[in-house]
C-alpha cells in the first residue's frame, strides 16, 4: 500500500467519532418517525454477520473486514432521510473513508454495498453487498421494537415483537443457507410476517444466489421458501 493510503480496520470504524455520531443521530431520527431500532445494536450485528458470512464462504480476510465495515456503516444515511438512505449513506461513507485515506478500490466496494442494501434499489453487486443484504435483512428481533411502541398499531413493530428466536446459518457443503425463525402467532400471524418481509426474503434469495447458495426460510418449523 502506498503512503497515500492507510489500512482501515473494522475496529477503527467502531471507534470512529463521526460514524458514532451518525449512527446515533440516524437512529434518533427513525425513533422520531416511529420506526424500529437502527442504532448500534443493529449496526454491530450487521457488521458481525456480514463478516461471518464471507468467512464461512472462505473469502480472503480483507474482504471479510470490508464487509464488517460496510455492515457497521450501512444505515448512517438515516441522518439525512429514511428515504434514499442507502444512497445518502453511501455518499457519507465515502466522505468518512476517504478522509481516513482508505484505498479507493476498497471504498468503491463498501459504497457499492451500502448503496445497494435497501429493498427498493438493492442488488448483490459484489460479495460484500450480498453479505450485507443477508446480514441486514435477517435482523428481526423483539429488542428492535422501541419501548414506547404500540404493537397493535404498527405491523413492523408487531412482526419484530413476535419474533422469539431467529437464526441464520450457512451450510457451505450443502450449498444452502437457512433463516429459521420462531414467531408467536398470537401476536402476529405468519401471513403478517409475509406481508412485510416477502420483498426482503426475495432479496435474500437473490443475495444467496450470488454465492450459489439456496436460501431457505423456515417459520415455526415449516419451510416456506
Ligand atoms: Fe437500511
Ligand atoms: Fe439496516
Q: Which tens digit of pLDDT belongs to each residue from 81-123?
A: 999 999 999 999 999 999 999 999 999 999 999 999 999 999 9
Q: How far is the CA of 133 from the centre of ligand 2 (A)?
A: 9
From the CA of 49, the nearest ligand is 2
CB 92 within 8 A of CB 77: yes
Residue 52 has pLDDT above 90, yes or no: yes
Query: To which H or E segment does residue 44 belong?
Result: helix 40-56
Distance 154 CA to ligand 2 centre (A): 18
Which tens digit of pLDDT belongs to each residue from 54-81? 999 999 999 999 999 999 999 999 999 9
> Whole-prediction pTM value?
0.96
Q: How confident is the model at residue 156 (pLDDT cuts 50, 70, 90)?
A: confident
| Separation of CA 128 and ligand 2 centre (Å) | 14
What whole-number distance in Å separates Cα of residue 87 and Cα of residue 142? 28
Average pLDDT, the chain: 95
- Minimum-distance ligand to the CA of 77? 1
**Of 165, 167, 158, 136, which Cα lies nearest the Cα of 71?**
136
Which position has the higher pLDDT, 218 or 225? 218
Residue 193: the pLDDT is 84
pLDDT of residue 206: 98
Residue 157: its pLDDT value, please?
Answer: 87
pLDDT tens across 157-195, in order? 888 899 999 999 999 999 999 999 999 998 888 888 888
The predicted structure's pLDDT at residue 190 = 86
Sign of CA dihedral 5, 7, 9, 11: negative
* 44 half-sphere exposure, CB direction, 13 A CA radius: 8
Q: Are 129 and 59 in contact (CB under 8 A)?
A: no
Asked whether the predicted pLDDT for residue 27 surpasses 90, the reply is yes
Q: Residue 8 Cα, ligand 2 centroid: separation in angstroms?
A: 22
Residues within 5 Å of ion ligand 1, judged at the Cβ atom: 75
Amino acid at each position: 500500500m502506498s503512503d497515500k493510503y492507510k489500512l482501515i480496520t473494522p475496529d477503527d470504524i467502531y471507534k470512529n467519532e463521526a460514524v458514532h455520531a451518525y449512527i446515533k443521530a440516524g437512529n434518533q431520527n427513525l425513533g422520531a418517525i416511529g420506526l424500529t431500532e437502527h442504532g448500534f445494536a443493529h449496526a454491530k450485528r450487521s457488521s458481525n454477520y456480514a463478516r461471518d458470512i464471507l468467512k464461512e464462504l472462505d473469502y480472503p480476510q480483507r474482504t471479510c473486514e470490508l464487509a464488517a465495515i460496510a455492515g457497521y456503516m450501512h444505515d448512517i444515511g438515516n441522518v439525512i432521510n429514511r428515504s434514499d438512505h442507502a444512497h445518502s449513506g453511501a455518499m457519507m461513507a465515502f466522505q468518512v473513508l476517504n478522509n481516513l485515506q482508505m484505498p479507493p478500490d476498497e471504498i468503491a466496494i463498501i459504497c457499492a454495498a451500502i448503496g445497494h442494501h435497501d429493498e427498493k434499489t438493492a442488488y448483490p453487486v459484489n460479495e460484500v453487498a450480498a453479505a450485507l443484504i443477508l446480514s441486514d435483512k435477517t435482523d428481526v428481533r423483539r429488542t428492535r421494537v422501541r419501548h414506547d411502541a404500540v404493537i397493535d398499531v404498527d405491523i413492523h413493530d408487531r412482526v419484530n415483537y413476535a419474533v422469539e428466536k431467529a437464526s441464520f446459518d450457512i451450510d457451505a457443503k450443502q450449498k444452502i443457507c437457512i433463516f429459521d425463525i420462531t414467531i408467536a402467532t398470537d401476536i402476529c400471524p405468519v401471513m403478517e410476517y409475509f406481508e412485510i418481509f416477502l420483498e426482503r426474503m426475495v432479496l435474500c434469495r437473490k443475495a444467496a444466489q450470488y454465492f450459489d447458495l439456496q436460501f431457505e426460510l423456515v417459520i415455526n418449523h415449516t419451510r416456506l421458501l
